[in-house]
Amino acid sequence: MEHIWAPWRMEFILNEKPSECILCGKPADSDDEGNLILHRGRLNFVILNKYPYNPGHLMVAPYRHVATLEDMDDDELLDHFSIVRRCTRALRGIFNPAGFNIGINLGKVAGAGISDHAHTHIVPRWSGDTNFMPVLSDVRVLPEGLASTFAKLKGQI
């Protein structure tokens, strides 16, 4: 069995969680750059993950606070996955990843860090994008900062 280590995620795990849902709170605020919101669609929005596994790690979420896919109506689902496709197209054009991990963790037991607001993760992947640093020294090397990634992707989705 292969293990994937992500010790840099401890910052997320140990940080005090806000009392309100961040996927409801962030789009309610108008500071898109400060909140890392890249795109506002009709029923869903795109936000950079503040604690990414790789540069360009995006999340697509509905504006409406829903916990599961079955709670989303057909229009929300169509908009959601149309935006997921637009995100992969933009990421492919800007970063040229070799592939993507795209996933939805529904419920705390399934690994959802935000378990009461459904969202889709889009993680660009490159050959060799993991190395020895996380294993040997609890350090995750991200070759680009969030502000640079935001600037490259803003207006591209």
Separation in Å, CA 23 to CA 9, 19, 98, 142 = 19, 12, 29, 24
Map residue 124 onto helix, strand or coil.
Answer: strand
**What is the pTM for the complete model shown?**
0.80
Look at the block and give the residue holding tokens 């057909």: 74
Of 39, 57, 80, 119, which one is the catalytic site residue? 119
Give 62-107 pLDDT, tens digit per residue.
Answer: 999 999 999 999 999 999 999 999 999 999 999 999 999 999 999 9
Ordered by start, the domain boundaries in the chain are 24-153
CATH 3.20.130.10 fits 24-153, yes or no: no
Closest of 60, 62, 64, 63 to residue 49, by C-alpha: 60
Residue labelled with tokens 């280590």: 5
**pLDDT exceeds 60 at position 116:** yes
80 part of the active site: no
Instruction: Summarize pLDDT for 36-56 with one digit per residue, the tens.
Output: 999 999 999 999 999 888 899
Angle 61-19-12 from CA coordinates, rounded to 5°: 70
